[in-house]
């Protein structure tokens, strides 16, 4: 998925947001929290969002993630709203990644 996404999207900046990360399986889960989580921001064409949403399991009876516009702080010091996938399931059994 990351290779396909890199071909579809344009890199914007490095950024961070407020939250915490937990280990689900071989992948992480972002939840509301007090830490700063760093990542990259990409401009994605509208037509790829359905495939990304399917990959992140955002629909169905018990979706794993929800895509929400979230304020992120770019490494340039500029704030912008970016689509972010937030984990929806309980984290009580998960290990926090520090």
* In the chain, domain spans: 2-97
For residue 64, the SS3 value is coil
Using one digit for the tens of pLDDT, what is the confidence trace for 38-56? Answer: 999 999 999 999 999 999 9
Contact of 29 with 91, CB cutoff 8 Å: yes
DSSP state letter for 93? T
Options 3.55.50.30, 3.10.490.10, 3.40.50.720, 3.30.70.20; CATH of 2-97: 3.10.490.10
Q: Is the whole model's pTM more than 0.85, yes or no?
A: yes
Per-residue pLDDT at 20: 98
Q: Which residues pair with 72 in a beta bridge?
A: 80
């Amino acid at each position: 998925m990351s290779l396909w996404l890199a071909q579809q999207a344009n890199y914007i900046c490095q950024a961070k947001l407020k939250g915490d990360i937990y280990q689900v399986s071989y992948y992480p889960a972002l939840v509301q929290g007090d830490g700063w989580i760093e990542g990259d921001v990409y401009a994605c064409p509208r037509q790829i969002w359905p495939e990304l949403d399917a990959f992140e399991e955002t629909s169905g009876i018990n979706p794993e993630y929800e895509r929400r516009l979230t304020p992120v702080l770019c490494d340039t010091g500029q704030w912008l709203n970016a689509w972010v996938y937030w984990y929806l399931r309980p984290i009580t059994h998960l290990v926090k990644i520090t």
